Structure 1
Amino acid sequence: MIDTGSKAALAGSPEGRHQLKELLDTALGALDDAAVKRGGPVTPGGPEAAKAAVQQALGGGTFLTKEPSAQRVTDLFQAYATWAVDLTHPSAVARMQCAPTAAAAAAELVAGVLNQSLHAWESGPFALELERQLIAEMASWVGYGPHASGTLTPGGSISNLMGLLLARDHALQEADDAGPGSGAVSRAGLSGRPIRPRILCSAAAHFSVARAAAFLGLGRNAVLTVPVDERGRMLAGEARRILAGLAADEVPVALVATAGTTDHGSFDPLPDLAALATEYRMWLHVDAAYGIGALFSRQLASLLDGLAEADSIAFDLHKFGWTPASSSVLLVRDRRHMNCLDEQAVYLNPSDDEAAGFTSLLSTSLQTTRRSDALKIAATLLTVGRAGMGAWVDACHEQAQHAAARIAATDALALVAEPILSTVIFRCRSTDAAAVEDEDAWNSAIRRKLMTDGRALLARTKITGPDGTPQVHLKLVFLNPTTTTNDIDELLTDIATAARELAATSA
């Protein structure tokens, strides 16, 4: 047993590496114990039990204890592992949250121990070059040329924010007759401009688009919502109608397309939207946070036709990518547009150091200190490979198809539509054996019961019903390529059982 108090060591030192080995044994033991205790995708008990578990792990004390001990760290590891969602469990299908590869998890350990940063050459020389080369390769994935650039970000919402930041500056610089990435907007700001910027996105777009508009000083009201079809795909004709109706002082800043919507996994018509963006000289940003997985799949890759025409692309590899969160990416077709992020600080990136090759990635990011996320992404790519990634994406797609077929064949369940990627939306419906008055409340309660009992983790959403009103639906998200058809059948049986139990108690 090590002393984590006065003898606590820094991780990279010889003493620290010795402690690390002992702590790793403790952590791996906690993972093994947790799998036995949990028994399902999450420990039973619900929110109050989770809160109590944290207090118990802390021994009723505080984090800044006067009596540090290895036992308290052990207790914390064991409680954390016991109450963590088991993303490898086939009934953990609530969120776009994948189980990472073992190689990526090991890379996280290496990155944490060495604690490199990307804001100065002397903070992480290998880490800097690794991200540069990874960004260049990913740019080639989407069809970008040698003038592309990009960065890794803390999440898809930040990638969308950055994409729209570049779009805002591009549009307003064009209005000022300034060149790409001139920085005119970042210097002068938005005040005094006799224009009203506008961003178009679909009704099914991620909420981070509107939030980004607020953060960028454009306001949520600058976002114009384009109608969608029954599967949540933007109607390009409606986008054209909105653009044609803009007033003289309304400036189209960006057209945001979604490749893989949160619910249906739908893909907006990228070729049509690219043509529209070109016609109106507006920035095309594609949010492919979920849908990027199709790129690896031979049978699904055509869903991303037209992606290379986008000015910027956001995607996550902590969804379809099997790396730990966060592993998000922003790619930009023309690196000049990132010049508006240029920053020079004499104490970080002096010009003579830059000229001598001691460069940093300070001017590609909104952050200064920034961890090396490229290492874990590279670890997964090197161990799984492109063909392996494609096979895993296809496996998840096939799981969704199987689940949809089973749901469609079950009287007590109502399928919304065939899956496009790996999500399945459905609803438990009342039958003679399970009659309920309020099916929305019932479906909501089914999900909570399954979570509280530790039997399954599902998502919920609202889908417009036949009468035109939004109805509560349940959603399965398949991101675990090892899940079997038997696993899915058992999950659906658990859902049906919970539905009957709740119907019986409410009768």
Structure 2
Amino acid sequence: MNNNLTSTGELANEVLPQDWGNFEHIFHPDNHHHYRNAIDTTADLVQEFLYRNTKPFSGIEAKEMKGKVQEIDLNQKLSSYSELLSEVDDIYVKHATAFHLPQYVAHLNCPVVIPALAGEILVSAINSSQDTYDQSAGGTFMERKLIDWTAEQIGYNVNGSDGVFTAGGSQSNLMGLVMMRDCFSQKRYQHNIKTDGLPPEADRFRIFVSDKSHFSNLKNASIMGLGEKSIIKVPTDERFRMDIPLLKKYMKREEQMGNIPIGIVATAGTTDFGNVDPLDDIADIAEQYNIWMHVDAAYGCALLLSTKYRSLLNGIERADSVTIDYHKSFFQPISSSAFIVKNKRELLILKHHADYLNPKEMDEEEIPAQINKSITQSTRRFDALKLWFTLRMMGKEQLADYTDTVIDLTKDTAVMIAQDPDFELLSDSDLSVLVFRYTRPDIADTDALNQFIKMKLFYSGEILVASTRVNGNFYLKFTLLNPITTTEDIHQILTKIKTHGKDFSPEK
């Protein structure tokens, strides 16, 4: 096949197979018009989604949504992209949550930046896999460059640290716990878990987390064969950060019971409160015990870029490993995350060889393979490209400004809630989460009152707020990640909460 392009971009002297029409959907230069039509038509629907959505959710109930999808016959193909997009609009786009609207203040879903969306087009179309150099070439070094850049923001020595992009914070946290377990076993018992399985002592391994840490710690401990019993939840202080005196007490207690502390997981930005554990104090204890310290900064990683609030992460540079979620705090589309280690030699624990990918004789310096650092992914998207687009078009400072804006907004919102007698604010936030509830002196069941408010907001679709339970009590929760949101938007949301709260009666 002659791949020489003419001045118009057409292939010269191209001899097409007799049945080329069967391949019209393959991404190929002869199908570039087909590709452009598909992209442009889809982009029109994206634009319609932006302009049409004036509230974050349609309010459709799950039963109706399920019925719409179930009635589709997947064995019957459609005739055009227009027909396809009309169908997808009806069962997805019209009811998709609009995270970009200021009325969305629920979960850790950030609005995304346009440079990253441009990167997504290349990521999906070229479809590189990041496991080996021969499948990604420049992508290998671009990912490594971004890992080095992130390590530098953490405060690591770039020459000594390393890492890899992952599917999300839970996977990164799993990697942190695996490294914690395996490094401890090798150093303390000269036991290689990768080849020999868990040592007899593993039944007594204990990992210390705060009682407000991410649930993935429990799931990961179960996956690793240590069981949920290995996770010791340390109570938090009045600001819902790990209580350091109690951490020391719990570690001594476990030792007295014959158990073995192997590491501590600090949280830099809890899901419910957005607060940062005392990282320096935790690092002191980890060093005293000579055990691994992992920092789950999936949410709080945004502080790495901020000059104004960076000090909240003081001590993170002393951790052995860090979880980063760019798709929470760097305004990236899902997924875009990373696991970073202070000492790159520790990553050798994860290395496995496959003759068809990274054989033992392969020179890592000459032909690097990112699969050597990945715990669960072989084929892996080039998600780093989205972040590359973002940094090169926006720069670190603009991302930092977005972060500072949402933190400042959260502080103003906390004042608004605290000064309003109709609300009870549970805690302030280092980042951008506020837990509170609406109260009425004539209503004793405050839980039912706030549950009513949340469901009214949800099924009207006008405002989406989150919720949680603290000490058994039901609270509403704001998660503010949109730098476009203003105090006036917040005022309107609080007013709407009051309106529904006033409509509540125990009989409803």
TM (normalized to structure 2)? Answer: 0.91
Identity across the alignment (%): 33
Aligned residue number for residue 451 of structure 1: 458
Selected match of 1:375 from 367, 385, 394: 385
- On the 8 A contact 2:283/2:318 being kept in 1, the answer is yes
Selected match of 1:149 from 144, 158, 162: 162
Is 1:289 equivalent to 2:298 in the alignment?
yes
Q: How many residues are paired up?
A: 484
What is the alpha-carbon distance in structure 2 between the residues aligned to residue 266 and residue 421 of structure 1? 6
What is the alpha-carbon distance in structure 2 between the residues aligned to residue 356 and residue 394 of structure 1? 40
- On the 8 A contact 1:195/1:249 being kept in 2, the answer is no
Aligned residue number for residue 431 of structure 2: 421
Which stretches in structure 1 are left out of the alignment for 5+ residues?
179-183, 465-469
Is 1:73 equivalent to 2:101 in the alignment?
no
What is the alpha-carbon distance in structure 2 between the residues aligned to residue 194 and residue 338 of structure 1? 21
What is the alpha-carbon distance in structure 2 between the residues aligned to residue 88 and residue 501 of structure 1? 29
Selected match of 1:158 from 171, 175, 196: 171
Aligned residue number for residue 136 of structure 2: 124
| Structure 1, 312-321 or 295-304: larger mean CA deviation | 295-304
What is the alpha-carbon distance in structure 2 between the residues aligned to residue 264 and residue 40 of structure 1? 25
What is the alpha-carbon distance in structure 2 between the residues aligned to residue 355 and residue 158 of structure 1? 25
| Structure 1, 165-174 or 195-204: larger mean CA deviation | 195-204
Aligned residue number for residue 331 of structure 2: 322
1:44-443 superposed matches below 5 A: 44-55=59-70, 60-66=71-77, 69-79=80-90, 80-145=92-157, 146-177=159-190, 184-193=192-201, 196-245=204-253, 246-247=255-256, 249-354=258-363, 357-366=366-375, 367-431=377-441, 435-443=442-450
Alpha-carbon distance, 1:407 to partner: 1.6
Counterpart AA for 2:243: L
Q: Does the residue aligned with 1:458 lie in a helix, a strand or coil? A: strand
Alpha-carbon distance, 1:305 to partner: 0.4
Which stretches in structure 2 are left out of the alignment for 5+ residues?
1-20
Aligned residue number for residue 485 of structure 1: 487
TM (normalized to structure 1)? Answer: 0.91
Superposed CA deviations along residues 133-164 of structure 1, whole A, max 9, x for unmatched, are: 11111111101111101111101000000000
- On the 8 A contact 2:234/2:247 being kept in 1, the answer is yes
What is the alpha-carbon distance in structure 2 between the residues aligned to residue 496 and residue 129 of structure 1? 53
Alpha-carbon distance, 1:64 to partner: 3.6
Residues 355 and 473 of structure 1: is their aligned pair in 2 closer, same or farther, counting only changes over 3 Å? closer
What is the alpha-carbon distance in structure 2 between the residues aligned to residue 129 and residue 241 of structure 1? 45
Q: Does the residue aligned with 2:32 lie in a helix, a strand or coil? A: helix
Residues 70 and 7 of structure 1: is their aligned pair in 2 closer, same or farther, counting only changes over 3 Å? farther
Alpha-carbon distance, 1:37 to partner: 4.4
Residues 409 and 53 of structure 1: is their aligned pair in 2 closer, same or farther, counting only changes over 3 Å? farther
- On the 8 A contact 2:269/2:431 being kept in 1, the answer is yes
What is the alpha-carbon distance in structure 2 between the residues aligned to residue 364 and residue 76 of structure 1? 41
Counterpart AA for 1:97: N
What is the alpha-carbon distance in structure 2 between the residues aligned to residue 73 and residue 67 of structure 1? 6
Alpha-carbon distance, 1:52 to partner: 4.0
Alpha-carbon distance, 1:21 to partner: 2.0
Alpha-carbon distance, 1:25 to partner: 2.3
- On the 8 A contact 1:46/1:451 being kept in 2, the answer is no
Counterpart AA for 2:238: E
- On the 8 A contact 2:153/2:305 being kept in 1, the answer is no
Superposed CA deviations along residues 158-203 of structure 1, whole A, max 9, x for unmatched, are: 000000000000111122246xxxxx11100015447511101111
